[in-house]
Amino acid sequence: EAGVTQSPTHLIKTRGQQATLRCSPISGHTSVYWYQQALGLGLQFLLWYDEGEERNRGNFPPRFSGRQFPNYSSELNVNALELEDSALYLCASSLGISRPQHFGDGTRLSIL
Amino acid sequence: AQTVTQSQPEMSVQEAETVTLSCTYDTSENNYYLFWYKQPPSRQMILVIRQEAYKQQNATENRFSVNFQKAAKSFSLKISDSQLGDTAMYFCAFQNSGGYQKVTFGTGTKLQVIP
């Protein structure tokens, strides 16, 4: 079974630009989660999507947004990039509520 | 709000020895889930073990076991017969059982297994 896949592996942007990160969940998983792993800060919950709807959101500004498509894949969009947005962005998927989350390899976003 | 605390930023253990990573959490909920995830240098997060709060029996997965003390809100991970491949960051995580689905992670413990 294919795991959670994320693209791109590495993304380099400059301040003020917009970034789009993509995630494909494990087949059959309907929930997708996004996390930010900044250096020294551990994992911070960003967003949870289930069945195409945003179900919960972490303490991030509105310039962090996303969506889930009918095939359950997901995009994370970050607008007006700032230097502190540099981090590893991890996507996870699960079968449903309270089921274990399975993580992708992440996208390393670097802001110059 | 839930919080998860891992008080050991770094630890090391000799190969084949046993090591225990500590984790405490704070919640007002009665039903929840606790996890230990492993993140090796390859950076993929891997689920190591899962504990349901309503189960008194400690979860085990081969060389990995937990000591779950619900009253003390403690959830430590014991790794027996440590192997070089166990070298990684270990994250303790809390997930409520309701519909909110937010997982709160600790800051991680960097474990180095020494040959």
Cα–Cα distance measured from residue A91 to residue A5, given in angstroms and rounded to the nearest whole number: 8
- For chain A, how far is it from start to end, CA to CA, in angstroms? 37
Domain B3-114, CATH among 3.30.70.270, 3.30.70.20, 1.10.3720.10, 2.60.40.10? 2.60.40.10
> Is A25's pLDDT higher than 80?
yes
B97 to chain A, minimum CA–CA distance in Å? 6
Q: Which of B12, B33, B21 is nearest to B77 (CA)?
A: B21
pLDDT of residue A39: 75
In chain B, where the domains are located: 3-114
Residue A42 touches partner B, C-beta closer than 8 Å: yes
Q: Which of B101, B103, B105 to mutate to test the interface with A (most CBs of A within 10 A)?
A: B101
Cα–Cα distance measured from residue B13 to residue B87, given in angstroms and rounded to the nearest whole number: 9
pLDDT of residue B113: 97
Per residue in A45-85, pLDDT (tens digit) is: 899 998 899 988 888 999 999 999 999 999 999 999 999 99
Of A35, A55, A88, the CB nearest to B101: A55
Please report, for the domain that includes residue A96, its CATH number: 2.60.40.10
DSSP chain A: ----EEE-SEEEE-TT--EEEEEEPPTT--EEEEEEEETTTEEEEEEEEETTEEEEE-S--TTEEEEE-TTS-EEEEE-S--GGG-EEEEEEEESSTTPPPEE---EEEEE-
Segments forming the whole domain that contains residue A33: 5-111
Domain count, chain A: 1
> Is B99's pLDDT higher than 60?
no
Q: B86 — phi, psi (to 5°)?
A: -80, -10
Confidence class of residue A8 from pLDDT cuts 50, 70 and 90? very high
